[in-house]
Chains A and B, each alone.
Chain A
């Protein structure tokens, strides 16, 4: 079953605005990761946040994790045209093989 679900499925904003994407999941996790994918290319790892962490920053990226609500958000501040991509969250399961399962993704378009 799909572990992570992202919201919204698509987001279009103006350059310079902030973009927020959300990910919800169903079962307890060890960690949650966010990846970016430019069209037709491989995925690039952005941030890994562990289940005992609540917030992490990396440059213009801010990720939060709320394990009580089983949700995470990715905030991109001061967006740029180059941020146009699909963004996926990926979660593991606390038990079992702990393999990553990717959410459906959010397609982000930054308009100049």
Chain B
């Protein structure tokens, strides 16, 4: 299995909602990432978990809360989002704990905040 699976593929939520994005990989990778990508822009790093510990938080607002329950799963909990948070949210993984390795990406969750 060489896939990173993200669910849901699409999500529409109101500004008062609470939702979660999920990411799963079964490649035994030890680092997992959340990226945010606006249309026609490059992905921007949000969080990195290395060996199930949060190693990087790129000054992301607290309305985004990451969680890594185990080495295969990564969640992103969303609460009180703003319309400008609408974007494609990408999960990625890499084999070791170093962040400059080859990244394997999921297909993303297209999030719309109304």
Contact = CB atoms under 8 A, between A and B. Distances in A.
Interface of A: 30-31, 33, 35, 40-45, 48, 88, 90, 92, 97-105, 107
B41 A100 contact: no
22 contacts: A30-B100, A31-B100, A35-B103, A40-B110, A41-B108, A42-B90, A42-B92, A42-B106, A42-B108, A43-B90, A43-B103, A44-B105, A45-B103, A90-B103, A97-B56, A99-B48, A100-B99, A102-B42, A102-B44, A104-B41, A104-B42, A107-B40
A43 B56 contact: no
A32 to B, nearest CB: 10
Most chain A CB within 10 A, of B40, B90, B100, B110, is at B100
Contacts of A48: 102
Interface residues of B, number: 24
A100 B106 contact: no
Interface string B38-82: 001111110010000000100000000000000000000000000
B55 to A, nearest CB: 8
Contacts, number: 57
Contacts of B99: 92, 97-100
Question: Lowest 3 A-B CB distances belong to which pairs?
Answer: A42-B105, A92-B100, A102-B42
B57 to A, nearest CB: 12
Contact of A88 (B42, B104, B107, B108): B42
